[in-house]
Amino acid sequence: MVPAIATVVSVVFRMLADIVVLLHLGFILFVSLGSLVLWRWPRLAWVHVPALLYAIAILTVGFTCPLTPLEKWLRRRGDGVAYEGGFVDRYVEDVVYPDERTAALRALAAVAVVVGYVLLVTRSRSARSSEHETLEGA
């Protein structure tokens, strides 16, 4: 392959790997904070609930999210180097927060999800109750 073309191809693969990293981070944030977003856009529950169940399965069963091998494959194609371990190990633990805080932050994310859904259900019931009272008074 012509060196200039090989360089361009390498850059494209590295950029695609970076896009996968952003998607992966976005997924983690959506799972962690999505129930709070549902206050504004409750119809997103149809997307959030399956994403949440998938994330719970990854954590409890311990299988690898398919975005991790995809990113590693793109990195190998881009510059021949892929990291060892998982996505969270590479980009989150000891980068965003210390490794010993992993359990606490996972618990905090779980609390955010539960609180978000409890408040959403409470608001929904309150709205239905108000609607029901309005219909009875008419």
Q: Which tokens is 123 given?
A: 């608001």
Do residues 20 and 74 lie in contact, with contact meaning Cβ atoms separated by under 8 Å?
A: yes
| Residue environment code for 20-41, b if the CB has 16+ CB neighbours within 10 A, otherwise e | bbeebeebbebbbebbeebeee
Identify the pLDDT of residue 95.
62
CA–CA gap between residue 78 and residue 3 (Å, rounded):
14
Identify the pLDDT of residue 96.
64
**Predicted confidence (pLDDT) per residue in 38-60, tens digit:** 888 888 999 999 999 999 898 88
For residues 57-83, average pLDDT: 90
pLDDT band for position 134 (cuts 50, 70, 90): low
**Sequence spans of domains, the chain:** 3-137
> What torsion do the CA atoms of 128, 129, 130, 132 make, to the nearest 10 degrees?
80
- Specify the range with the lowest mean pLDDT, choosing from 56-60, 64-68, 113-117, 129-133: 129-133
**Predicted confidence (pLDDT) per residue in 86-110, tens digit:** 887 777 776 666 777 778 887 888 8
Average pLDDT, the chain: 83
**Side-chain half-sphere of 131: how many Cα atoms within 13 Å?**
6
Identify the pLDDT of residue 66.
92
pLDDT at 28 over 80: yes
CA–CA gap between residue 14 and residue 7 (Å, rounded):
11
Q: Which tokens is 49 given?
A: 């609930």
pLDDT at 138 over 60: no
Beta bridge partners of 97: 93
Query: Is the full-model pTM beyond 0.85?
Result: no
CA–CA gap between residue 78 and residue 104 (Å, rounded):
36
